[in-house]
A and B are shown apart, each in its own frame.
Chain A
Amino acid sequence: MLKAVLVIACLALCANLWATENGKRPQNVSGGNSNPNPDSDAGPEARLARILDEIDKNRLGAALEEADALIRRYPNFRLAHLIKGDLLLARSRPISTFGNAANAPPEQLADLREEAVARLKAYRDKSSAARYVPRYLLQMRPDQRHAIVVDTDKARLYLYRNDGGRPRFVADYYITHGKLGSEKIRQGDRKTPVGVYRVTASLPADSLDRFYGSGAFPLNYPNEWDKRQGRDGDGIWLHGTPPDTYSRPPRASDGCVILANSDLVALSRNLQLGVTPVIISNSIEWLSYDDWQSERDAMSEKIEEWRSDWESRDYDRFIRHYARDFKAGSASARYFAQLKNRRALAAESIKVTLGNRQMFRNPGKEQMVVVSFDLDFRSNSLSSQTRKSQYWIREDGTWKIIYEGNA
Chain B
Amino acid sequence: MRPIFAKPLTAGFPALALGLLAGFHLSVAGANTGSDALSDIQDMVKNGQLPNALEKVDSYIAAKPKHAKDAQARFLKGVILGEMGRPADAIAVYGKLTQDYPGLPEPYNNLAVLYAQQKQYDKARVALEMAIKTHPSYSVAHENLGDIYAQLASQSYDKALQRDSGSTGSQSRLAPIRQLGGAAVRTEPAASANVAPSSQPPKIAVAETARRIPEARTTPPAQANPVAAESSAGDGEFARMLQHWKSAWPRLDFTTALAYSISDLTCRIMRERIGPPGLSAGSANTMGGPGATGCRSEPRKSRFW
Q: Which residues of A come within 8 Å of B, CB atoms?
A: 3-4, 6-7, 10-11, 14-15, 17-18, 21, 52, 55-56, 58, 60, 78-79, 81-82, 84-105, 108, 110, 112-113, 116-117, 120-121, 124-125, 244-245
Contact = CB atoms under 8 A, between A and B. Distances in A.
Given A3-B298, A10-B301, A117-B245, A90 B156 contact: no
Given A55-B261, A90-B262, A94-B226, 19 more contacts: A7-B297, A7-B301, A17-B252, A55-B265, A56-B257, A56-B261, A81-B157, A82-B156, A88-B156, A90-B263, A91-B146, A94-B263, A95-B266, A96-B262, A97-B259, A98-B262, A104-B161, A117-B244, A125-B248
Interface stretch (B35-43, B99-107, B147-155): B147-155
A10 B298 contact: yes
Interface in B136-195: 145-147, 149-150, 152-162, 167-170
A95 B263 contact: yes
Interface string B243-267: 0110011011011011101111111
Nearest to A67: B156
Most central of B254, B298, B300 by chain A CB within 10 Å: B254
Nearest to A7: B298
22 contacts: A52-B254, A58-B265, A78-B159, A81-B157, A81-B159, A81-B160, A82-B161, A85-B154, A85-B155, A93-B220, A94-B224, A94-B293, A95-B262, A96-B230, A97-B233, A98-B258, A98-B259, A100-B157, A101-B154, A101-B168, A102-B169, A117-B241
A82 B229 contact: no
A82 B160 contact: yes
B292 to A, nearest CB: 12
B239 to A, nearest CB: 12
B167 A88 contact: no
A96 B229 contact: yes
Contacts of B305: 10
Given A81-B156, A81-B157, A94-B293, A21 B265 contact: no
B270 interface: yes
A125 to B, nearest CB: 7
B160 A92 contact: no
B118 interface: no
B252 A90 contact: no
Contacts of B304: 10, 14
A49 to B, nearest CB: 8
Most central of B160, B229, B267 by chain A CB within 10 Å: B160
A242 to B, nearest CB: 11
B224 A113 contact: no
Contacts of B298: 3, 6-7, 10
Most central of B226, B249, B268 by chain A CB within 10 Å: B249
For chain B, which range describes its interface: under 10, 10 to 19, 20 to 34, or 35 or more residues?
A: 35 or more
A289 B166 CA distance: 56
Contacts of B159: 78, 81
B261 to A, nearest CB: 4
Contacts of A15: 252
B243 to A, nearest CB: 12
A377 B84 CA distance: 95
B153 A85 contact: yes
A244 B162 contact: yes
B245 A121 contact: yes
B300 A10 contact: yes
Contacts of B244: 117
A110 B290 CA distance: 30
Interface of B: 145-147, 149-150, 152-162, 167-170, 220, 224-226, 229-230, 233, 237-238, 241, 244-245, 248-249, 251-252, 254-255, 257-259, 261-270, 290, 293-295, 297-298, 300-301, 304-305
B262 A87 contact: yes
B248 to A, nearest CB: 6
A90 B269 CA distance: 8
A100 to B, nearest CB: 8
Contacts of B265: 55, 58, 60, 90
B257 A52 contact: yes
Contacts of A10: 298, 300-301, 304-305
Contact of B300 (A11, A78, A81, A98): A11
Contact of B161 (A91, A101, A121): A101
B293 A85 contact: no
A18 B158 CA distance: 35
A92 B150 contact: yes
A17 B251 CA distance: 8
A132 to B, nearest CB: 15
B110 to A, nearest CB: 20
Contacts of B294: 94
A95 B248 CA distance: 26
B268 A58 contact: yes
A14 B252 contact: yes
A211 to B, nearest CB: 15
Nearest to A90: B266
Contacts of B230: 96
A30 B107 CA distance: 45
B160 A78 contact: yes
B276 to A, nearest CB: 16
A121 B230 CA distance: 22
Contacts of A90: 262-263, 265-266, 269
Nearest to A58: B268
B148 to A, nearest CB: 8
B149 A92 contact: yes
Contacts of B262: 55, 86-87, 90, 95-96, 98
A98 B269 contact: no
A301 B251 CA distance: 43
Contacts of B255: 98, 113, 116-117, 120
A4 B299 CA distance: 11
Contacts of B268: 58
Contacts of A125: 248
A91 B157 contact: no
A17 B305 CA distance: 11
Contacts of A84: 153, 156
B151 to A, nearest CB: 9
